[in-house]
Structure formats: structure tokens, C-alpha cells
Chain A
């Protein structure tokens, strides 16, 4: 008769109690799977936002731009951007380089000033670069740039319209801002800004389309063709842009990309990787460490139930322990028998917890968790809808972690069973 068989029968001996102990472990495991999936989803979202709207893998800017960023310092731009861009594109580690012009401005409408943030982009290049990173979303090869392709690549909701004509004073506007202004596709409005030569400039633009940004912090955004933005901000004379956004083929090549780009541009320009200045990402990484500790506490709390159960089992079965000791079972064998019982409950409960976790996370990873109401008025670099991500590695880790903590916790009461003196155990009623 194998020990594991006896252990299995003993688990079934008091089904309700075994079920209760298992439920505590399963709930803890389920919670941790959900927690880690949510954090993974938030991290993934932060990465996607940083890569798409902010820095790319690496951002090249004027060294002083960051310091005065809140003042929209378009005069602190990268001059002769095309030459710099060509030099960077020649680097083997570089997959693509995207020039962008960021600026701030105001829209005066019905006696009120409305803040607006703009990015001048090359829509065609943006679609092509995103297609390299997200080939499954790529449009048909050779197709002319279209708004729906751009929206798909930039994770935007589409509310009608077309891409701005590259030479015309047209822009895409955030739906949130358009609603605030009471405008829609086809309407015109005037944006007031300060140019690179410190003069004030006001241009009237036609809204070619409305889009919804996934991030609350981008709700006041307009996107316009980069050539138009350069002229608007009087950067066209020097061929300057505020940012050069670079991508490499794989995320793990970013340190190589930083090194190569830094060598290429020298001290004249600032080179920063997407992780360096991304407070949200660093915050989430810190949160991940904190959640590691919280999950350990979760498991420890859950294991108090199994420790309690094992102790009760040892006390209840004292005479049985004495009997099997009399039959010649050694202390190590007795420990193994009781340890196996706790382990079976722990393994079964951890598997159930992970299974339930997967069953909950999988559909949520498709439909997402909508935080729109909670995020209203919060300008955070995080999407309003978070899609939890199930990571095979972290789920397997949670499973092992759960089993290991349960096993470790149950070891102490099982050792107690083995240390019982046979006579004392046999005397128990």
C-alpha cells in the first residue's frame, strides 16, 4: 500500500474540512493570478502608450527640451532633422525613425480658452513603422495611408473622417476635445501657439476626422501633418523637429540602440530610452514588487488554514499515529504521510485557483476592464480600458509559489506528528 494512496484516502476522510482548506488556497491563488494579470495588462498598456505616443524605444531631442517641456519650447528643436534622421536610419540596430513635432496651444471659442496639445506626424511613416512592430495589424502592402489603418496602429477609436491632406491645414482631433468645443468633422477652428522664433501664430484648421485616444492624458490632442506643423511653428526654415522617435526590432535591443544612437549624435542631442523617463512604468514596476509581497501575505494567510487543518488532523489521529509507529513506520515516513495529505490539498487547490484565474482572465483580456468613469478627470498615462494579460510564466510561477508555500507551511505540523512518542500517541483517546 503506497503512502500517497493512504494520504489521498485521508484527504477524503473529512471532505468538508479538506474542501474548506483547499478553498482558502484556491481563492488566494485565484486572486494572485488576477492581480498579476491586471498588473501585466497595465504594464503592457504603459509600454504600448510609451512606444506609440511618447518616446518609441528611444527618443532623440534637444538636451534642454525636457527641462522646459511644460512651456512647449519648440525653439529647442533638432535642426536639420532629415540629415540626423538619415544618419540614424543607417545604423543596423535601428528599425525605423519617425520625426515628430510636439507643441502646445490654445483654441479660443465662445469667450473661452481651451488648451490643446498637438503632434505633427508623418502619417504614412507612422503606419509603416507601426506595421513593422505589429505585423498582424499591418495594412495591405502598397496601400495609401488611410485613417482606419492609422487608427488601428495607434489604438484610436474612429469617429469618422479621413486623414489630413499632407499639404493642407487639416487635423485629426480628439473626440473628447471636439465635444468640449462643440465641433465635428468638417468644422474649422483656430489654434493659437508660440512659434520657434517666439512669435505668436494663429492658424485656422479644418477638422478632417475625429478620433478617441485610449488615454485620458491625450484627450486634448490634435494630430496634423508634420510639414504643416513645421510651417505653423516656423520650424520649416531649419527643417527642425522636436523629437525623433526610434524603434528597434526587439525590446531587448534597446540598450544597444541607446548606445549606437548616443555614439551617432554625440552630446549635441539628448538620447533617452522609453524606460528612463516613464514615471508610470517605473511606478508599475515598483507596484509589481509590492504586489509580490502582498501575494506572499495572501498565501501566508491562506496557509494558516491548512496549517490549522493539519494540526487538527494530527491531534485527531494521535492514536492512529501511535499505531502506525508501532507497526514500524519511522518518523520520516509518518512526516511524509501527513505532508502528502497537506500537499494534495495544496496542489489540487492551487490548480483549481489557477484554472479559475485563467477562466476569468481570458475573457477579460478580450473585453477589458473599463475604468473610464474612475479615470474621468485623471490625466494619467494609462488607458481607460485595461486588458489583463495572462502570462504563462507568471501563472506557472503562481502555481509553483502556491504549492511551495503550502508545502512549507504544512511541514511544521507534520513534523510534530513524527515526533510524537508512540506510547503518548497510543494513549490518546
Chain B
């Protein structure tokens, strides 16, 4: 369970202050597949960063799984991210000197020291994303879609409670994007992992079981969608 309570985030640059979030409150149930939509500058990435413990709120509280992360220091936040959160970035953000296998296993090895377990779980998740036979390739040898699959595997390999995906389909073509969404939806269902997306992409919104809309740092819409409408939407976009 994620609880965002009356959160404000203000960025300061010299004497200028910009409020990216203005008193946002949001509750997210475990296992959700939630999209945060809105125009550029609406605050969706900022909200995702706060929930992802990458940034701290100017005021208000963020509580994840009962832990008040807004009170944590940098090291505590790093350890919380390590144990509970997975990230998928718009530009994939894979480490170029590591192979697909190493990119995924590196995230897991921060958590588990047992090499055999790391290898087995890494290979299993690579198989889940359909890249078991490309484990030895470096990011430069993979297509955009394949790289994002590696990034998804990296986010999921440690079995996180929440995966935060910032515009995950922005840098891939629509067909690949849909494949990725199918994959994430499947993994969401299979592992009950909570997925939070920030997106402009209508297709991502169609797949989401809940759509939160932000405008000028405020929530302007919060729509929970029945399962059948998602299936229809997904079928329609396919």
C-alpha cells in the first residue's frame, strides 16, 4: 500500500520557486497497475520520484508499506529502494559495459550474495522477458525494445513490491510498446507487483486499471477502470 498524503514539492532556483506538486494525496493498493498521466510539467515524474524514494517532499508524507519514507535519510532511502522498488526508465538506462545478464544480475547481487541463486533467478527472469538467448549481449547489441525488456527484467528480478516506470514506451515503436505493456501486465498479474507508470502514451493509459491525471501539480482525475474495459481497450489497440 502506497499512501501519499498532502505532498508538496517545491523546486528552488535562486529566488525563483516552482511548485511541481501542490498538496497531492493518493492511495495505491498493492498489485495495482496504475498510470499517472498529464501534460509535460504537470508533476507526474516528480510524483513518481517521490514514491520511488529518489527525491524527498517539501511537505507532506509518503508512506510505503507502512514505512514513512519521507523521514528517511539518504542511506535508508537507498536501502529501501534496493529491497522494495524497481525502476524502468524512458531511456532504459542500462549499464553499457555489462551484458544483459550482468545488468540484471547486478541489481540482484546488491541484495543476494549466493551466486547460484543470483544466476538462477536472473536466467528465469530473462526467460520471462524472452531474452534468455541474448543474455550475453551488451546493450549496444540489442534493439530498443530488447533493451527495455532487459530493464524490465532488471526491475523485477529482485521481486520488488513496486515497479516505477517513467514513460517506458516513449523510446520504442508502438508494436514493441504494446508487447512491453503485455509483458508488464502479465508480470503484474503473476507476481502481484504494483506497477506505477508516468506516461503520455494513450496505450499505456488503456492498459492501466487505474488512471490518475495530474495538471499543474494537482490531481484532476482519478479513474478506476473495470477489468473488462481494459481487456477491450487492449484488444482495440492491438
Contact = CB atoms under 8 A, between A and B. Distances in A.
Contacts of A328: 78-79, 81-83, 85, 107, 110-111
B199 interface: no
A13 B49 CA distance: 30
B87 interface: yes
The 10 closest A-B pairs by CB, nearest first: A328-B82, A9-B97, A323-B93, A1-B106, A422-B54, A328-B81, A423-B55, A330-B78, A326-B87, A327-B107
Given A1-B109, A328-B81, A6 B98 contact: yes
B81 A327 contact: yes
Contacts of B154: 327
Interface string B71-107: 0001100110111010101010101111000100111
Given A6-B98, A319-B93, A326-B52, A331 B105 contact: no
Given A1-B105, A320-B95, A327 B110 contact: yes
B124 to A, nearest CB: 17
Contacts of B52: 326
Given A1-B105, A331-B74, A331-B78, A9 B93 contact: no
Contacts, number: 69
B54 A320 contact: no
A326 B81 contact: yes
A322 B166 CA distance: 14
A319 B93 CA distance: 7
Interface of B: 49, 52, 54-55, 74-75, 78-79, 81-83, 85, 87, 89, 91, 93, 95-98, 102, 105-107, 109-111, 154
B95 A423 contact: no
Contact of B89 (A9, A13, A330, A426): A426
| A interface secondary structure, majority | helix
A9 B105 CA distance: 16
A327 B54 contact: no
B138 to A, nearest CB: 10
A6 B95 CA distance: 10
Contacts of B79: 328, 330
A324 B82 CA distance: 10
Contact of A329 (B93, B97, B98, B110): B110
Contacts of A319: 91, 93
A330 B110 CA distance: 10
Nearest to A419: B74
A1, A330, A333: most-surrounded residue (chain B CB, <10 A)? A1
A333 B95 CA distance: 16
Given A1-B106, A331-B75, 6 more contacts: A320-B93, A322-B93, A326-B52, A328-B111, A329-B78, A330-B78
- Classify chain A: how many residues form its interface, as a range: 20 to 34
Q: Which of B82, B91, B95, B102 has the most chain A CB atoms inside 10 A of its CB?
A: B95
A286 B89 CA distance: 61
A325 interface: yes
Contacts of A10: 97
Contacts of A325: 54, 78, 81
B49 A423 contact: yes
10 contacts: A1-B102, A9-B97, A9-B98, A13-B96, A326-B81, A327-B154, A329-B82, A330-B78, A422-B54, A423-B49
B87 A327 contact: yes
A322 B93 CA distance: 9
Nearest to A328: B82
A423 B110 contact: no
B152 to A, nearest CB: 14
Interface string A315-342: 0000110111111111101000000000
B56 to A, nearest CB: 9
A188 B107 CA distance: 92
Nearest to B160: A328
Contacts of A423: 49, 54-55
Interface in A101-119: none
A109 B79 CA distance: 94
A1 B98 contact: yes
Contact of B95 (A12, A323, A330, A331): A323
A324 B78 CA distance: 10
A326 B79 CA distance: 10
Contacts of B96: 13
